[in-house]
Amino acid sequence: MTVKILFSALPETWDSYRAHLATALDRAGIAAEVTTDTTAHDVDYIVFEPKGPVTDFSTYPRCKAVLSLWAGVEKIVGNATLTQPLTRMVDSGLSHGMVEYVAGHVLRYHLGIDRYISAAAGTWEDTPPPLARDRVVTIMGLGALGTAVGEALVALGFQVRGWSRRQKDHPTIRCYSGSDGLRDALRDADGVVTLLPLTAATENILGAREMDLLQNGAFVINPGRGPLIDDDALLAALGSGRIGHATLDVFRTEPLPADHPFWAHDRITVTPHIASATRCDTASEVIAENIRRSESNLPLLHLVDRAAGY
């Protein structure tokens, strides 16, 4: 039997995925017809990105699951017409890219690289930086990405703390949870990385009170979601010196408007939402595997908990 899949995304996304998805479905042993025609209301699955055309899922009564191409699902999870199971993207390419981005910027701060890039001729202050083992980095969010990032930082020698809504347990990351736990996780840390899902409970979770717990001159790296950080509190903490520098990859409005104060700030580095991207080849395998599971009545991978919002 042939399954019918609606690929609801931007045309350029479809161009990138088309061949990879066909290969992945074929390898998973799934005979499939993939369409981008949103008037095909008899589809069995919808592959989804928020920028695509489908907004009303109620018109696809046969659809067994909606498979998000994005790791973050905050733009779809509240859609009242969505009654089907929803899965998030957990892609090894996405995770590798995130690890590389965060490790690169953590080491940049740790080593003070910016100072050498812009050093005046003849500057020779040859005191080496402390070792990573003397630095504490706190990761807010211990999902697939936060955990992978934490493990990579531990491997590089850093002391890593992790905070999550529900208490977790990890052999090398010191785990915290709850609001008392958040204070303990942030207290005297040299830097913080925000990798939480965006929900009503996590919006502005890194605010003035939280930043005030960090070491003076701490760094902030946000490769998660823009609204996790209170922007005004961040600017104030940079002004007071509590935060030494921030690298931000995600913003409330993207692209970040050219007149936004983050661009001009000499202690904020803006990156254009490139910390990590789903890779068409590995992501197609995840989509194909979930369709194979659904057709075999096996539980779906990376199923979204609609009440929790991720």
Which spans of this chain sit near its own copies (rule: CB under 8 A)?
93, 96-97, 99-101, 103-105, 107-108, 110-111, 113-114, 116-117, 119, 121-129, 131-133, 152, 155-157, 247, 254-260, 263-264, 269-277, 279
CB of 106 to its own copies, least distance (A): 9
Assigned token pair, 92: 């090894």
- Say if CB 175 and CB 164 are below 8 A apart: yes
CB of 101 to its own copies, least distance (A): 6
Catalytic residues: 225, 273
CB of 136 to its own copies, least distance (A): 15
Give the whole-angstrom CA distance, residue 236 versus residue 233: 5
Task: Please report the sign of the dihedral spanned by the C-alpha atoms of residue 291, residue 296, residue 300, residue 306.
Answer: positive
Angle at 279 between CA 275 and CA 281, to 5 degrees: 165
Give the whole-angstrom CA distance, residue 29 versus residue 27: 5
Q: Which is nearer to its own copies, 4 or 279 (CB)?
A: 279
- Say if CB 141 and CB 127 are below 8 A apart: no
Distances (CA, A) of 235 to 218, 228, 265: 13, 14, 9
CB of 109 to its own copies, least distance (A): 9
- Say if CB 79 and CB 55 are below 8 A apart: yes
Q: Find the distance separating the first CA and the last CA of the chain, reported in whole Å.
A: 32
Peptide bond between residue 130 and the one before it cis (omega within 30 degrees of 0): no
CB of 154 to its own copies, least distance (A): 11
